[in-house]
Structure 1
């Protein structure tokens, strides 16, 4: 519990805009029946294997740097090779060099529909839409037996993306409409002689919004 509180305090510190972690002291205040305090004060002792916990959490974390792993080695990772290749090369402007590798993995059966959907979704959100469409077409052309499945998954993701974008747009439009209504009310109240603090409190506007109305 103390570590959870400490982590939460660190998270709030970062969310406030700070770039480094603060030192948070997880101090325990004890007033129990047994005296002196009879338990360990090291949170690592709470693990089933405290020795292993110390090795894991008291040193630098293990690292899997996919950027330095050769593509040939990644191809041997079978069912995770698909995602690893894309993660490694997603920032390249030209993904066409990965078409043959992806085709090889699909032909060998190292990707099911769920993995393909995850892969395409990842590409859509982290890459370029035009490149994504070209990439999908090139893959589908090379493996006709999987073409319908690939295009169906890609189309479904595009539709979901369009629907999510539309919903986001509607929400933004609704919020902007509410803001404009609040500005009209504020303008009317100011014209009627209400003071700024009262107008801000009633409308919920920010001082900057009200400042723009006074110009």
Structure 2
């Protein structure tokens, strides 16, 4: 039998019983709701190691985790049996967090796998009776009706790939971000000059945002195209030429273009690392950089 560490005599007794397959099977046959019980092949019960769930989260729970195959045989269901000797107003949320952690670990080895059902069950024997709190985590919100609408429907999606450019340029201070990130995979961004000029003239971004924007364009392109892009941008914006050139010069002095040249002389990898470090320092999203470059988590840490 799997050894468990326990914090109380209550936990020790609970786990000595419900880590036994036959006892757990009886428990589930008796206490699982009928519609959920009928999904489970209880003859396939398998006790999961406590290490299956994140250590910090595991410390919050006195639980047992079983996996079972579905009766259709095409997936797994996990049953979390949580032991509680005192009431907890946030128990439903804790069970939801734990369930999410189980789902995450299940798909870590293959992100194409569908999420498994995780059935949280609470075994309670506290001094206050009956158990006083709802076990629907949505009831824990100050506005449970709104929470039900939010978490039972698809989340809001901002998919700039399908938004027409003419509509994007009407989006005030987020227009620059949306326009550039929609088209950043194009080899040449010169076709966006007209829209960019209109947006920059309307002062829709501050200097730090423009710096980050130009850094971003440089990272995803090459030096020659970047210089041509800046030249055309300033030609179209004579009244803002000094501002744009000052920002471009600052990027140069910070080592972006020097990093590109050094990358050619000393190896492309080191040059790109210099650029990535500078981009991070200028507020770039680390997750985007990791997706764009394909760097591992360890390589990102090394930057």
The TM-score range, normalised by the shorter chain, is 0.5 to 0.7
Q: Say yes or no: does 1:15 pair with 2:123.
A: no
Alpha-carbon shift at residue 164 of structure 1 (Å): 8.0
Q: Say yes or no: does 1:78 pair with 2:186.
A: no
Q: Secondary structure at the match of 2:122?
A: coil
What's the TM-score, normalizing by structure 1? 0.65
Is the deviation greater in 129-138 or in 99-108? Answer: 129-138
Q: Say yes or no: does 1:129 pair with 2:250.
A: no
Inter-partner Cα distance in structure 1 for 2:163 and 2:189:
17
Q: Say yes or no: does 1:60 pair with 2:168.
A: no
Give ranges in structure 1 of 5+ residues lacking alignment.
Answer: 170-215
Q: 1:41-56 counterparts in 2 under 5 A?
A: 41-56=135-150
Q: 1:92-103 counterparts in 2 under 5 A?
A: 92-103=186-197
| Residues 76 and 58 (structure 1), Cα distance of their counterparts in 2 relative to 1, 3 Å cut | same
Alpha-carbon shift at residue 111 of structure 1 (Å): 1.5
Q: Secondary structure at the match of 1:24?
A: strand
Give the superposed CA RMSD: 2.9
Kindly provide the CA deviation profile for residues 6-51 of structure 1, in whole angstroms up to 9, marking residues without a partner as x.
2233333333334223333333343322222221111111111111
| Residues 145 and 61 (structure 1), Cα distance of their counterparts in 2 relative to 1, 3 Å cut | same
Give ranges in structure 2 of 5+ residues lacking alignment.
Answer: 1-93, 260-270, 278-303
| Higher-helix-fraction structure | 1
| Higher RCO structure, 1 or 2 (CA under 8 Å, sep 6+) | 1
Q: Say yes or no: does 1:165 pair with 2:259.
A: no
Return the match for 1:3 from 86, 96, 108: 96
Is the deviation greater in 15-24 or in 84-93? Answer: 15-24
| Residues 150 and 56 (structure 1), Cα distance of their counterparts in 2 relative to 1, 3 Å cut | same
| Paired residues, number | 168
What's the TM-score, normalizing by structure 2? 0.48
Q: 1:139-154 counterparts in 2 under 5 A?
A: 139-154=233-248
Alpha-carbon shift at residue 57 of structure 1 (Å): 0.8
